[in-house]
Amino acid sequence: MTPKVSKIGVLCSGGDSPGMNAGIRAVVRTGLYYGLEVFGIMRGYTGMIEDDIFQMDNRSVANIIQRGGTILKTARSAEFMTYEGRKKAYDNLKKRGINGLVILGGDGSFRGAQAFSNDFDIPCIGLPGTIDRDIAGTDFTIGFDTAVNTAVEAIDKIRDTADAHDRLFIIEVMGRDAGYIALHSGISTGAENILIPERKTDIENLVASLQEKERRKKLVNLIIVAEGEKGGAEYIEQVIKERIPGLDTRVCILGHIQRGGAPTCMDRVMASRMGYHAIECLMEGRHNVFVGVLQNRMNYTPLSEAVKKKQRISEEWMKIVRILSS
């Protein structure tokens, strides 16, 4: 029989995402409601290895729901990917009696949680905290909505100056392995082309499309490029300048502004909902899953499956892009 969870740790791992603080707040306050002791672990798995752990109460999470980033900080830990590193982390949890974990992060964080639980039989619950929205098993990841809205606000402003000068702007958004930010921000700002790592870019088709628009005197164009696309925005600019030298072209890389800022209402609500259900999972004995949302219902995916699958962009999305950008 699985021992009852009585003391839990909560941590953030990998890249930060807006809404993580809302998730932490929900985990802490729901845990305390059920009579659990709750410990914050600073800087993710690194803090677990280095024993940077402290007990939390309701006041620990006061006035944080509206803040971007994470009060627990976050980091990536190569040491935790070794058994020796995980053993150090386990020893630090054991001496405090911590027998359950909630991890906010992406697929790399979930891989670490799965390995840790396999080694030491500590139940782990994952919350999908990643702006990339690339985890299969959920329609929503904490931070995605805020990141997209940040990108949209910037792109709308760029379109104003593009229109004033009849320019082509190539705008690079985040998404090393996933193109969801590029896809959603591109559709919602009327971009003429959206380039994502999931689809090989047809340079000839891109150039032909721009040449055809030039013939139609459509001189204001936006190309949205996910950073994971080959060479990024600067490579695309180089190709276009070589093939269409008369086109006035500019590059804008939005970068880490997409990770920061106050989370949107959706990110705050969904992170709160997920944090609450993470504790419910531990109380019910549902272990080693991550809490997602599918069709507005809570969905629980085993960590072992979550680390093997990626959320994929469907052909229907790409058809929508082709039709609406013509």
> Between residues 38 and 221, which one has the greater pLDDT?
38
Token pair 């058994």 is found at 83
Q: Which two tokens stand for residue 40?
A: 């914050």
What was the pLDDT predicted at 218? 61
Per-residue pLDDT band for 1 (boundaries 50, 70, 90) equals very low
Q: Where are the domains of the chain?
A: 7-143+263-306, 145-259
> Between residues 41 and 163, which one has the greater pLDDT?
41
User: Same CATH fold, 145-259 and 7-143+263-306?
Assistant: yes
Clarify whether 91 is annotated catalytic: no
Q: Is this structure's pTM higher than 0.85?
A: yes
Classify the C-alpha dihedral 294-129-92-95 as positive or negative. negative
Residues in the chain: 326
What was the pLDDT predicted at 35? 96
Per-residue pLDDT band for 217 (boundaries 50, 70, 90) equals low
* CATH number, domain 7-143+263-306: 3.40.50.450
Cβ contacts of 46 within 8 Å, gap of 6 or more: 52, 75, 76, 77, 79, 80
What pLDDT, in 10s, does the model give residues 149-200? 999 999 999 999 888 888 889 999 998 888 899 999 999 999 988 998 888 8
Exactly one of 16, 107, 132, 145 is catalytic; which is it? Answer: 132
Cβ contacts of 174 within 8 Å, gap of 6 or more: 131, 132, 147, 181, 226, 227, 254, 255, 256, 258, 259
What was the pLDDT predicted at 308? 64
In the CATH scheme, what is the homologous superfamily, with its name and number, of domain 145-259?
Answer: Phosphofructokinase domain (3.40.50.460)
Q: What is the mean pLDDT of residues 277-297?
A: 93
Per-residue pLDDT band for 83 (boundaries 50, 70, 90) equals very high
- The DSSP annotation for 61-78 comes to GTT-TT-SS-TT-----S
What was the pLDDT predicted at 326? 63
Rounded CA Rg of the chain: 22
Number of CB atoms found within 10 A of residue 165's CB = 11
Tell me which of 13-22, 147-156, 210-219, 254-263 is least confident.
210-219
Whether the per-residue pLDDT at 50 is higher than 50: the answer is: yes
Q: Are strands 124-128 and 100-105 parallel, antiparallel or unpaired?
A: parallel
